[in-house]
Amino acid sequence: MNRPSLWEALRGVVRRDLLLAMRRRSDVVMSVFFLVIVASLFPLGVGPEPAVLRTIGAGVLWVAALLACLLSLGRVFTADYLDGVLEQMVLIAQPLPVLVVGKVFAHWIVSGLPVVLLSPLLGLQFGLDGEALGVLVLSLLLGTPTLSMIGAIGAALVLGVRGSGLLVALLVLPLYVPVLIFGAGAVTSSMAGIGGEANLSLLGACLVLSLFFSPWATAAALRIALE
Amino acid sequence: MNWSKYSAPLAFYPLAGKMIPWFSAVAALAIAVGLYIGLLVAPTDFQQGDSYRIIFVHVPAAWMSMFLYVVMAIWAGVGMGLNARLSFMMAQAIAPTGAMFTFLALLTGAMWGKPTWGAWWVWDARLTSELILLFQYAGVMLLRTSIDDLRRADRASGVLALVGVVNIPIIYFSVKWWNTLHQGASVSMTAAPKMATIMLTAMLLMTFGFWMYSIAVILSRVRCVILERESQPAWGNPSAAPEVAEAR
């Protein structure tokens, strides 16, 4: 039997994880609903003044997206860790970081992409207009993959640790702060008329950096967890 | 002389014990002189009055908070690279002191900010990134304590510490990159300092004192860690280490 190429291995991991996610659709729906509910709580708590909602809208949506991503982090590795698939992934002749990229990409499609697609609708609820909505979608498109990449490190570190759900939040949220600042900053600065390009470039830089470093750190953390 | 023999916890334990009094004495002396110059000798600032004097604690504490994080990450990295137990113990011993200095920097900053800026806290780039540093110290310590297997706890918190190093340049350059409320650096390696020599002397003395204090405290904490971890039969015959046997 021929050894599959890197690309085939990557595709295989993505396909498998997406298939598993499709078999358990309620998981996906849950994190999307969580996002919608959190975003809808703020107007009820803060009050329905359109001016206030417009100012806090970008920040609230970004925080909600961040929390939705955080809640779904447990799904990246836990099931595979429990049934032993992860051990096989560490053992096979493909580099572990590549497989990690595949798993994180699948996680993003399942939990990040719905957030990006839903965000214009939620933005309308907060009274964001045309250009700001576009920047919001773009910022989430650049930012949510970064959140998944960084989150994977935390998810790998807490595998099989007691109280891991809460612990992963404590580990990962501080690292999410720059993405949150640049993401929400892009929308607010475009609303202020300065244009969101600078913040979007910084988000892109964060994405590239995390794409480069996070798979190695995640692979190291997985090896430690499986020792 | 073969220094690498001190990488064994057994050999390092008595050496640390001998070094602690020296570092403590130097720390006490430097902090006492630094505080004397800073609080009594240095002139009053013509804009801020006497409230500026808190920088003699604030700036050294902030420097130490960043420096100790990097040192902790380096020890963790060395531990993972060379598979050395003592390195992980050093990393474990550094974290609480680093967190303490981070908290001290935030606290003194708030005490200075109230009379000067009129607010205890502002969401400025440097304040926020320093707060994140505090969370990172907490994360590293919490991750270590929630994993029961020592070997895994060491390595996992080491990975987290190394990942968190990205925040250090962000804190350091935050006043340059974002033009927010916290003023820029008054002291730098490359340019002449923008403060009076006497103030600078006090600040550097305090930094030196804090540095020596950190070494003394970290060494005594690492001794506790060694006792805690190596009290199992791993050391074999306890009579080989009379001092440890005594301390037990």
Cα distances from B237 to residues A61, B8, B94, B229, B234, in angstroms, run 62, 15, 29, 16, 9
Minimal Cα–Cα distance from A143 to chain B, Å? 17
CB spacing of B136 vs A174 below 8 angstroms: yes
Q: Please state, in angstroms and rounded to a whole number, the distance separating the CA atoms of residues A24 and A111.
A: 13
- Nearest chain A residue to B140 by CA: give it: A171
List the single best residue of A150, A159, A162, A171 to mutate versus B (max B Cβ within 10 A): A171
Query: Which residue among A167, A174, A213 places its CB closest to the CB of B143?
Result: A167
| Whole-prediction pTM | 0.85
Cα B10 to Cα B6: distance, rounded to the nearest angstrom? 8
> Would you say residue B112 has pLDDT above 80?
yes
Average pLDDT, chain B: 84
Query: Which chain A positions have a beta carbon within 8 Å of B146's beta carbon?
Result: 158, 161-163, 167
Question: What is this model's ipTM?
Answer: 0.84
What is the model's pLDDT at position B191?
A: 56
Query: Which residue in A162, A173, A221 is closest to B159 by CB distance?
Result: A221
Q: What are the pLDDT digits (tens) for A171-219?
A: 999 899 889 988 888 888 888 878 778 889 989 999 999 999 999 999 9
As a whole number, mean pLDDT of residues A107-130 equals 88
Q: How far is CA B136 from CA B72, B142, B163, in A?
A: 12, 10, 10
Does residue A1 belong to any structural domain of this protein?
A: no
Predicted pLDDT at B194? 62
Q: What share of chain B is helix, strand, coil (3-state, %, to 5)?
A: 80, 0, 20
Angle at Cα A107 formed by Cα A105 and Cα A112, nearest 5°? 95
- Of the candidates A161, A177, A213, the beta carbon closest to that of B147 is on A161
Chain B residues whose C-beta sits inside 8 Å of any chain A C-beta: 128, 132, 135-136, 138-139, 142-143, 146-147, 151-152, 155-156, 159-160, 162-164, 167, 170
How many folded domains does chain A comprise?
A: 1
Phi/psi of residue B45, nearest 5 degrees: -75, 140
Examine residue A190 and state whether it is found in any structural domain, yes or no: yes
CA A91 to chain centre: 27
pLDDT of residue B208: 94
Min distance B242 CA to chain A CA atoms (Å): 35
Tens digit of each residue's pLDDT (9 = 90 or more) over A130-142: 888 889 999 999 9
CA distances from A72 to A37, A69, A174, B4, B91 (A): 16, 5, 17, 46, 31
Q: Is B143 within 8 Å of A157 when comparing Cβ atoms? A: yes
Whole-number Å distance between alpha carbons of B242 and B248: 10
Which residues form the domain of A144? 6-226
How much is the average pLDDT of A37-57? 86
Lowest mean pLDDT among A90-94, A113-117, B3-7: B3-7
Q: Write out pLDDT tens, residues B83-111.
A: 888 999 999 999 999 999 999 999 998 88
Helices (H), chain A: 6-23, 25-46, 50-72, 74-83, 85-91, 96-107, 113-125, 130-157, 164-191, 197-226
The reply to whether A16 falls in a domain is: yes
Q: Count other C-beta atoms under 10 Å from residue B89's C-beta.
A: 24
User: Helices B55-82 and B85-117, interaxial angle, to 10°?
Assistant: 160
- Token representation of residue B39: 């609080």
CB contact under 8 A, A174 and B132: yes
Q: At B49, phi and psi to the nearest 5?
A: 70, -145
pLDDT at B211 over 90: yes
